[in-house]
Amino acid sequence: MKIAVIGSGLAAVSAAKVLISRGFKPIILDKGETLDSEKTSIVNKLSKLDPNEWELEDKKIITSNPTIKDKNKFPLKMAFGSDYFYGKSLKNATIETDGKLPPFSYAKGGFSVGWGSTVLAPDDCDLQAWPIKRDQLEPYFKKNLKDLPYSALNDGLSKYFPIYSKNINPLELTKGNNQLLKDMMESNIKNKEEVSFGQSRLLVRSMDNKDALGCKKCGYCMSGCVYDCIYKSTQDIDTMVSHGSIDYIQGVIVYSLEEINKKVKISFIDKDNSYETLIVDRVFVGAGAVGSTRIVLQSKKLYKHEVRLQSTVAFVAPMLRMKRLPVDWPNANTLPGIFLEYKVNELSNHWVHTQLSTPNELVFQKLGIDFLKPGIIQAIKKNIVGHLVVALCNLHSDHANGYVLSLEKNNATIIDKLISRREEMNVPEMSIKRALKKLSSLGRMFGCYVLDPFVQDTISSGGYHVGGTLPMKIILEKDTDTNLLGIPKGWSRIHVIDSSTFPSLPGTTIGLLAMANAARIASEIEYD
């Protein structure tokens, strides 16, 4: 049986692993954009050195992030000083917008090449719109976490959010984050109903093993890990290729699928800009929420058919502590240190997901702090840093403005044009206001005070997490509805496996959820 997977992100790779375990050799079709050669060369060079041996000029290049300087916009996450993994950087992306583009990727590994590695399986209260519940996904949370590097603890978070693995190797918290967590545990916040907190859960290799290096506390995690300690799906792709367990075809943009006599014809443009087709028995579409939506709309010729792309909404809240926290940087891991989950009764029954940390290298750039630079101004700034805690809060998609996508016939190329516009809603502003008020109240219990004038949100710029254009349903009404196996209405051998099938998006991260749902679909199919 010939099976194809479109994409190489978290969901696509999770499905591919299941297919391999079932005896198949899937064909991976992927645009597969990669980091430019100059930065790749620097990354390879630094990966062979200890952090204290890195040259300053090299560090500047791979940690550069000009978006930090924009006071009016939410900073863009970069990978080694590059935004290559955002699809907007590709000239032939064939997507138009009103100026507010939803996040999409053509990178090898999708957004996993630039993510923060945070994972937290959702509670049932955040899956109320779903036709399946958390217990149906639990075997697949476990399945995915079994062979991934997983930094987690069975702590206070576990009351509502099980860790789903015995294979845990927690990172050592920085002294500042450790003290902050201790203060939280000793405060009255631990007695609050519908509040849960503990050490952050990350897909990160904390220690060396026989095959790879562990965290070296270089201090530049938010810019990318040169030692490859932060999991990204390219690691699995490369392993699968080396083992001969997949056929990986790079440089491909799929634009149409057609079911013909229990087969699927895949139409795509290859790396030489030639128009090609491939006939397979079954297809798994994991091109990301935007990419998968475009493929389905064009395949079904649904022109001028509007679909809603849901989004989460986030805000960053700097917090001030009277009591100074120790600063480990640069000898530190700068990924999120603490998860704080809380509910706002006036808002909904959904969890607000909060990542608490002492300042990281991006904050230092924002504040103009150079630890190597002498002088009284820098000394004052360095002292202030010890009094700062940064909270990144993410809210459920019910509280966010999304995007409206539609397809338009493109006379210039065979790939039709996806049109995107941002929803104008008042909901996010009210939601953030209430979530911020609750955060302020909780923060005071452990000695942290929100600096309201400096709060930044993603209302205008959009959040990083999107999906829901092809929602899973029990009864399929629209041509863009999918069943529990991700099959769009009217089809039988095409499965959409990424976040485009999510009926809603939890605030508590979506990476692990995407992996689990993709594995569930690939596992529960009866192959013929």
> Which run of H or of E encompasses 376?
helix 376-385
- Say if CB 169 and CB 207 are below 8 A apart: yes
Other CB atoms within 10 Å distance of the CB of residue 251: 15
**Does the bond joining 330 to the residue before it have cis omega, within 30 degrees of 0?**
yes
- Say if CB 6 and CB 513 are below 8 A apart: no
Average pLDDT, the chain: 93
What does the pLDDT look like over 400-425, one tens digit per residue?
Answer: 999 999 999 887 788 888 899 988 87
Superfamily of domain 3-51+59-524 in CATH is FAD/NAD(P)-binding domain (3.50.50.60)
pTM score, whole prediction: 0.95
72: CB partners within 8 A, 6+ apart: none
Q: What is the pLDDT of residue 96?
A: 66
What does the pLDDT look like over 140-158, one tens digit per residue?
Answer: 999 999 999 999 999 999 9
What does the pLDDT look like over 50-59, one tens digit per residue?
Answer: 999 999 999 9
Q: Please report, for the chain, how many H helices and E strands are present, in that order.
A: 11, 20
Of 45-49, 213-217, 284-288, 454-458, the range with the lowest mean pLDDT is 454-458
Residue 289 has pLDDT above 60, yes or no: yes
| Average pLDDT value for residue range 418-439 | 91
Q: How much of the chain, in percent, has pLDDT values that exceed 70?
A: 97
Residue 91 has pLDDT above 60, yes or no: no
- Say if CB 180 and CB 358 are below 8 A apart: yes
Dist CA 300 CA 51 (whole Å) = 52
What does the pLDDT look like over 356-370, one tens digit per residue?
Answer: 999 988 888 888 777
Of 224-233, 362-371, 399-408, 478-487, the range with the lowest mean pLDDT is 362-371
Residue 442 has pLDDT above 60, yes or no: yes
Q: What is the pLDDT of residue 293?
A: 96
Domain boundaries, the chain: 3-51+59-524
Q: Nearest-5° angle of CA 473, CA 13, CA 266?
A: 70
How far CA 456 is from CA of 30, 77, 243, 453, 476, in Å, comes to: 35, 15, 46, 9, 39
The better pLDDT of the pair 264, 413 is held by: 264
- Say if CB 354 and CB 319 are below 8 A apart: no
Dist CA 87 CA 288 (whole Å) = 11
Q: How much of the chain, in percent, has pLDDT values that exceed 90?
A: 80
Confidence of residue 380 (pLDDT cuts 50, 70, 90): confident
Of 75-84, 174-183, 247-256, 264-273, the range with the lowest mean pLDDT is 75-84
Q: What is the pLDDT of residue 94?
A: 64
Which region, left, alpha or beta, applies to residue 138 given φ > 0 means left and ψ of -120 to 50 means alpha? alpha
> Helical H runs in 229-326?
233-243, 288-299
Q: What is the pLDDT of residue 144?
A: 98
The better pLDDT of the pair 525, 75 is held by: 525
Residue 307 has what DSSP assignment?
E
Confidence of residue 3 (pLDDT cuts 50, 70, 90): very high
Residue 134 has pLDDT above 80, yes or no: yes
Residue 509 has what DSSP assignment?
-
Q: What is the pLDDT of residue 125?
A: 97
Dist CA 249 CA 522 (whole Å) = 20
| Average pLDDT value for residue range 296-324 | 95
Confidence of residue 484 (pLDDT cuts 50, 70, 90): very high
In this structure, what token pair is assigned to residue 106? Answer: 């053509």
Residue 319 has pLDDT above 80, yes or no: yes
In this structure, what token pair is assigned to residue 301? Answer: 């010729």
The three-class DSSP label of residue 429 is helix
Q: What is the pLDDT of residue 139?
A: 98
- Say if CB 206 and CB 216 are below 8 A apart: no
If you write DSSP's letter for every residue of 205-253 in order, what string do you get?
--S--SSS------S-GGG--TT--B--HHHHHHHHHHHT-SEEEES-E
Residue-wise burial string across 160-188, b where 16 or more C-beta atoms lie within 10 A, e elsewhere? bbebbbeebebbebbebbbbbbebbeebe
Dist CA 193 CA 499 (whole Å) = 31
526: CB partners within 8 A, 6+ apart: none
